[in-house]
Structure 1
Amino acid sequence: MKRTLHGVTLAAALFAGGVSLAQSATSPTPPPPGASGSTKPAAMKGMAEFKGFMVPTDEKAFLERLHHINQTEILQAQLAQKNSQNPDVKSYAESMIKMHTDADQKVMTYATTKKLKLAEPKPVDEMERKAMAATKAEIAKLEVLKGSPFDSSYMAGQVAAHDMAIGKVMAAQHGMNATGEMATMITTLTQELPKHRDMAYQTLGKVDDAMGVGGSGAGMQGGSMDHGSMKHGPPPSGTTGSGSMGGATGTTGGSTKTK
């Protein structure tokens, strides 16, 4: 009888211990007093962030990225002048060459006054490295495409590229604490880059119409984005989008060529 009681007692103890172990494995450990319990990673040192878009807070590194964006836009627009037969796409590309050439001159002039020698930007993380590689791959693709396939690829890429540029500039505005001429340059970009994006979106719609498909651009209600306080979807039909960083002016659909 005593042996039976010992067996029951041991079984009960093992059962209680097993329940306790299972509970400790499945129940989260409460955070220490005063801890927030948040798992959000800390922002990278030396980086400004806005809704997932990041740029270096170092002035030279930021200028190098602006220079890279401008040069990429000019190169792709030059390919559009050569490989597209669509007058709307060609007009849009002509506007981009003018606007980004003027914008790049401002960047380089500012860098010169600050005695900064700009170079090809070095990626700060894996995300930026992949983005730069994707840009090179996109240029390589545009070099071989012709006609309608070029138009669709180029214009869709332009909408995405300007979304990326807007995000980076908004990150700079929120986190760089820029002053003087640099602050003015950033503010101008936050106002003008959305106009580029709208021009690209409207021209993409015309390309889709020419191909007999719908889904974006002129005449559509979707496609608007919200970067902070800026909403920049397709503007009402017939409105014009004034130029961008270079101050040129053209219609949102790109049908009026910049003189």
Structure 2
Amino acid sequence: MKRTLHGVTLAAVLFAGGISLAQSSASPSTKSGTQGMAEFKGFTAPTDPKAFLERLHYINQSEIKQAQLALQNSQNPDVQSYAKMMVDAHTAADKKVTDYAKSQSLKLADTPKATNDTERKSMAADKADMEKLQGLKGPPFDSNYVAGQVAAHDEAIGMVLAAQHGMGATGELATMLTNLSQELPKHRDMAYQTLGKLNDALGVGGAGQGGGMDHGGMNHGTSPSGSTKTK
């Protein structure tokens, strides 16, 4: 699924449609999806805590694996720096997820059970993305990896937004969502800036105009910033 990556500021990501990611109350544009899914602006999140935590765990592990590959296959210092930050940040984030799950006596699967055809196709696309990256090195790897990171973080932000507005989380889980709503846009912004540097070096147009992977992700629809994702 192709993502059109427009020039979006961090403020626009944080305040999509005038609504802060840090809000936890439901809004008129939030609705409960089918099969225990909350939906917000085309993004979905399970309302069941275990199912949601499994998706966070899956995202963290995917980010770590791709970043570790970037440390091997990229020679670009900006990409290397970003990848190192991703390994550190998502390792720490995943520990919080798994520690919380243990405290609730929840055993998380490494790969969530897909609830519908969209998720099944998305997980297959994630696998294809990783296989594509494994066959690339140097500049082709850099552009595909970083463009995919912008799209992946749009997806993760959207899922957190849906959870905040539709899950009704309290206590430690609500705090985790708030922290994610603050950290994920920073990751996305760093990826976008890194993509801009790569495009400048290649003499390509603005960040987001270059090629990238067909990134599946766990959600689909308009991005939290309001930019459209098209197939």
Please indicate, yes or no, whether the TM-score normalized by the shorter chain is above 0.5. Answer: yes
Q: 23, 26, 35: which is aligned to 1:45? A: 35
Q: Is the counterpart of residue 150 in structure 1 residue 150 in structure 2? A: no
Residues 118-167 of structure 1: per-residue CA shift (max 9 Å, x gap): 00201111111111111110000001100000001000000000000000
Q: Is the counterpart of residue 141 in structure 1 residue 132 in structure 2? A: yes
Q: Is the counterpart of residue 97 in structure 1 residue 78 in structure 2? A: no
CA shift for structure 1 position 45: 3.3
CA shift for structure 1 position 42: 7.7
Larger Rg: 1
Which structure carries more relative contact order (alpha carbon 8 Å, separation 6+)?
2
Q: Is the counterpart of residue 196 in structure 1 residue 157 in structure 2? A: no
> What is the DSSP-based 3-state SS (H/G/I as helix, E as strand, rest coil) of the residue aligned with 1:116?
coil
For the residues of structure 2 that align with 1:156 and 1:172, how far apart are their CA atoms? 25
Matches within 5 A, 1:1-259: 43-119=33-109, 120-216=111-207, 227=224
Runs of 4+ in 1 over 6 A off after TM superposition: none
For the residues of structure 1 that align with 2:135 and 2:207, how far apart are their CA atoms? 25
**Unaligned ranges ≥5, structure 1:** 1-40, 218-224, 232-259
For the residues of structure 1 that align with 2:203 and 2:75, how far apart are their CA atoms? 16
**Contact map agreement 2:58 2:112 (CA 8 A) in 1:** yes
**Unaligned ranges ≥5, structure 2:** 1-30, 209-221, 227-231
For the residues of structure 2 that align with 1:170 and 1:42, how far apart are their CA atoms? 13
TM-score, scaled to structure 2: 0.76
> What is the DSSP-based 3-state SS (H/G/I as helix, E as strand, rest coil) of the residue aligned with 1:49?
strand
For the residues of structure 1 that align with 2:115 and 2:59, how far apart are their CA atoms? 16
For the residues of structure 2 that align with 1:45 and 1:158, how far apart are their CA atoms? 29
**Contact map agreement 2:32 2:166 (CA 8 A) in 1:** no
Question: CA, structure 1 residues 226+53, in 2 after alignment: closer, same or farther (shift >3 Å)?
Answer: closer
For the residues of structure 2 that align with 1:108 and 1:70, how far apart are their CA atoms? 11
Aligned length: 183
Question: CA, structure 1 residues 156+226, in 2 after alignment: closer, same or farther (shift >3 Å)?
Answer: closer
Q: Percent identity?
A: 67
For the residues of structure 2 that align with 1:64 and 1:81, how far apart are their CA atoms? 26
> What is the DSSP-based 3-state SS (H/G/I as helix, E as strand, rest coil) of the residue aligned with 1:48?
strand
Residues 155-201 of structure 1: per-residue CA shift (max 9 Å, x gap): 00000000000000101001000000000001111111111100000
CA shift for structure 1 position 226: 7.0
| Aligned residue identity for 2:206 | G
Question: CA, structure 1 residues 182+159, in 2 after alignment: closer, same or farther (shift >3 Å)?
Answer: same
For the residues of structure 1 that align with 2:32 and 2:83, how far apart are their CA atoms? 40
> What is the DSSP-based 3-state SS (H/G/I as helix, E as strand, rest coil) of the residue aligned with 2:144?
helix
| Aligned residue identity for 1:134 | A
